[in-house]
Amino acid sequence: MSEPAEKAAKAAKAAKAEKAQKLDASDELAGKRAEFVLDDVVYLDGNSLGALPAAVPGQVEDVVRRQWGELRIRSWTEGGWWTAPERIGDRIAPLVGAAAGQIVVGDSTSVNVFKALVGAVRLARLTDRGGPGRERDEIVVDATTFPTDGYLAASAARMTGCTLRPVAPSDVPGALGERTAAVLLNHVDYRTGRLHDLPSLTAAVHAAGALVVWDLCHSAGALPVGLDEHGVDLAVGCTYKYLNGGPGSPAFLYVRAGLQDRFDSPLPGWNSHAEPFGMRADYAPAEGAVRGRVGTPDILSMLALEAALGVWDGVSVDAVRAKSLALTDFFLECVGEYVPEGRVECVTPRAHAERGSQIALRCPDAGEVMRRLIERGVVGDFRQPDVLRFGFTPLYVGFAEVERAARVLAETLAETPA
């Protein structure tokens, strides 16, 4: 690099660093960072596993030592264990735009996807507008979905006698018809960070007389969802990403209030029985969101999640979304300034209306680049075959960290053969 070019590069980095300081100084969410256990690593992998909220270790110790150790079985009543799935569901509800009484927490995302999708097919057949002889027998699934969702959709199709039809989200409206029973879609694409149009796609599914199931794993806690506002039928989401619930923390299931009395779960269990301690041979479903329960909830993870959700006190999802867009905009700005043109390709949409809370960059040596980034204290992740993913959690990521990440990325790319 020539001396003038080197001076220009240094000046550009100084300008970006100064801008980052100003942005951090005016950040209304900056104080939330102190509520997490963090170090000097730039952690941009919250879209895989959120950072540890500082209140969680103490809560877990209390659950283990006092509630389990001293109260023992009395904790199911005295400690509130039995009502935890609905109580914590009500805590998550405002973060995804839902009224209380529609979300139950428990099981994995995969199990909840299966429950929701089979339940959606059964609901669609109960209300089939096609008339006798026109039973709905097709499930439409996001062709770009996370693999497990695809596997589960195929299993649900076999179980319900449906044909599975993979379709790109943008092509869903044209693929719907009188045979469509249910549609399974991702709100945010896990590879690219593309945000799909939940309101218009939900409306299109309903216009065809079908039901929609949304996977919110990459949007819950990162941006407004509006489940009630947009009439979503069923939705599932994990809690260990932007909700920071911990590794393997239980997922959630949303069933719209107007559907709950007809929701027929393919996994009925004693916890969802109208008389769970009656131990009756015949199954009678409970009322409300409780129908989404199956077996005994994972109390240790459940109550760790409840403690983790305390970081949302006093926080609006709109403020989180505004900061998310500002962080990702600034990252792209810094990458554009620091990284030579053509070295990486951004596959995340630039338009705010089409962007989640991550940036995905494509480069041929992505796996090696990410390995070196992590060694230098910038943690993102790698997705086959050539994608670098950077997730931005607004509650604990700052603008100076974003500038540092882009700078280290540029340095790493300069040292790594393309």
Per-residue pLDDT of 60-77, as tens digits, reads 999 999 999 999 999 999
> pTM of the full predicted structure?
0.96
The catalytically annotated residue of 389, 390, 392, 404 is: 389
**How many whole angstroms separate alpha carbon 216 and alpha carbon 260?**
20
In this structure, are residues 331 and 390 in contact, taking their beta carbons and an 8 Å threshold? yes
Per-residue pLDDT of 362-395, as tens digits, reads 999 999 999 999 999 999 999 999 999 999 999 9
- pLDDT at residue 2 in the model: 67
Q: In which band, very low, low, confident or very high, does the pLDDT at 6 lie, cut at 50, 70 and 90?
A: confident
Q: In which band, very low, low, confident or very high, does the pLDDT at 1 lie, cut at 50, 70 and 90?
A: low
Q: What is the mean predicted confidence (pLDDT) over 140-153? A: 96
Per-residue pLDDT of 22-48, as tens digits, reads 999 999 999 999 999 999 999 999 999
Per-residue pLDDT of 253-263, as tens digits, reads 999 999 999 99
The catalytically annotated residue of 36, 43, 190, 240 is: 240
**How many whole angstroms separate alpha carbon 317 and alpha carbon 105?**
20
Residue ranges of E strands in 3-150: 36-37, 42-43, 52-53, 103-105, 138-142
Per-residue pLDDT of 221-249, as tens digits, reads 999 999 999 999 999 999 999 999 999 99
Write the CA distances from 189 to 181, 205, 237, 247, 396, integer angstroms.
23, 19, 13, 21, 22
The residue with tokens 């139950």 is 104
Q: Is 382 a catalytic residue?
A: no
Determine which helix (DSSP H) or strand (DSSP E) holds 246, and give its type and residue range.
none
Per-residue pLDDT of 81-136, as tens digits, reads 999 999 999 999 999 999 999 999 999 999 999 999 999 999 999 976 544 435 89
Per-residue pLDDT of 276-309, as tens digits, reads 999 999 999 999 999 999 999 999 999 999 999 9
Q: Is 32 a catalytic residue?
A: no
The catalytically annotated residue of 215, 233, 298, 381 is: 215
**How many whole angstroms separate alpha carbon 400 and alpha carbon 259?**
46
The residue with tokens 């779960």 is 265
Structure tokens at 289: 């969101």
Q: Is 389 a catalytic residue?
A: yes
Nearest CA-CA partner of 368 in 356, 386, 394: 386
DSSP-derived secondary structure letter, 340: P
- pLDDT at residue 227 in the model: 98
**How many whole angstroms separate alpha carbon 232 and alpha carbon 235?**
7
**Count of C-beta atoms within a 10 Å radius of residue 157:** 22
Pairing mode, strands 234-237 and 211-215: parallel
- pLDDT at residue 132 in the model: 45
**Count of C-beta atoms within a 10 Å radius of residue 401:** 23
**How many whole angstroms separate alpha carbon 268 and alpha carbon 271?**
8
Q: What is the mean predicted confidence (pLDDT) over 1-6? A: 68
**How many whole angstroms separate alpha carbon 285 and alpha carbon 268?**
8
DSSP string, 247-288: TT---EEEE-GGGTTT---SS--GGGBSSTTT--SS--BPSG
In this structure, are residues 104 and 290 in contact, taking their beta carbons and an 8 Å threshold? yes
What domains, with CATH codes, occur in the chain?
3-37+315-415 (3.90.1150.10), 58-312 (3.40.640.10)
Per-residue pLDDT of 203-217, as tens digits, reads 999 999 999 999 999
The catalytically annotated residue of 115, 179, 241, 407 is: 241
Pairing mode, strands 103-105 and 378-379: unpaired
Answer yes or no: is pLDDT of 141 > 70.
yes
Report the b/e string of 168-193 with b at 16+ CB within 10 A: ebeebeebbeebbbbbbbbbbbbbbb
Instruction: Establish how many alpha carbons lie within 13 A of residue 324's alpha carbon, considering only the half-sphere containing its beta carbon.
Output: 30
- Torsion angle (degrees, nearest 10) of CA 65, 71, 73, 74: -140
Q: Is 241 a catalytic residue?
A: yes
Q: Is 240 a catalytic residue?
A: yes
DSSP-derived secondary structure letter, 308: H
Cβ-based neighbours of 216, under 8 Å, separated by 6 or more = 96, 187, 225, 235, 236, 237
The catalytically annotated residue of 36, 114, 146, 190 is: 146
Report the b/e string of 202-237 with b at 16+ CB within 10 A: bebbbebbbbbbbbbbbbbbbbebbbbebebbbbbb
Check the CA dihedral 93-96-99-101 and report its sign: negative
Mean of all residue pLDDT scores within the chain: 96
- pLDDT at residue 130 in the model: 46
In this structure, are residues 346 and 354 in contact, taking their beta carbons and an 8 Å threshold? no
